[in-house]
Amino acid sequence: MIIAIEEMKREDMLRVAKLNKECFPTDNKDIHYALRWVDSCFSGKGRAQYSVAKEWDSIVGYVLFKENGGFREDAVLELEQIGVTESYRGLGVGTKLIQDALKSYVHNLKADNRKLKCVMVTTGTSNEAQKLYKKAMGAEPACTIPELYEGDELVMIARKEGLEKKLGIEL
């Protein structure tokens, strides 16, 4: 299995929207809403960055990072959403996707004379993805928000030290 991680291109939008609908069937009521969501986030380029995982020409995963709080010298990112097609789950695609996409985002920040302070992610309190966020970024639980989306949401934060260790780069 050879997986390449790259920034999403406009021509990838429909395939990412279909994967969004597969991974998050209750988030958008149909493919048109999923496509509208992906397009609106993609249009926020500069503040938001999609990366896709491809095997040959097939998109098998995507991740969306968004910058919060303005374009600060010490950037705070949010891992807004990650989706990996079912047959590729548990194979390390999610970890590779998060880490390579973050390295790309850090490179872009450095080109703008800025640095990454931390990454925030929210997930359901019973969601197994918590393990992925810890493994890929060193994220730790920070607080719980009751009844946010489909139940209680756990806010996790990956701070500079943990990120540097997991990514193998200086932030």
Could you read off the pLDDT of 88-140 as tens digits, one per residue? 999 999 999 999 999 999 999 999 999 999 999 999 999 999 999 999 999 99
Q: How far apart are CA 155 and CA 21, in angstroms?
A: 23
Burial of 126 (0-12, 13-18, 19+ CB in 10 A): exposed
Q: Which ranges in the chain belong to alpha helices (H)? A: 13-23, 31-42, 93-111, 129-137, 160-167
Place of tokens 């048109």: 32
pLDDT for the residue 104: 94
Which of 22-26, 40-44, 60-64 is most confident? 60-64
Q: How far apart are CA 129 and CA 125, in angstroms?
A: 10
For 101, the token pair is: 């996409």
In percent, the amount of the chain with pLDDT more than 70 equals 100
Listed residue (86, 88, 97) closest to 137, CA to CA: 97
When computed from its CA atoms, the radius of gyration of the chain, rounded to whole angstroms, is: 15
CATH topology assigned to domain 4-167: Aminopeptidase (3.40.630)
pLDDT for the residue 86: 95
Q: How far apart are CA 48 and CA 44, in angstroms?
A: 5
For 72, the token pair is: 């600060």
Could you read off the pLDDT of 43-95 as tens digits, one per residue? 887 889 999 999 998 999 999 999 999 999 999 999 999 999 999 999 999 99
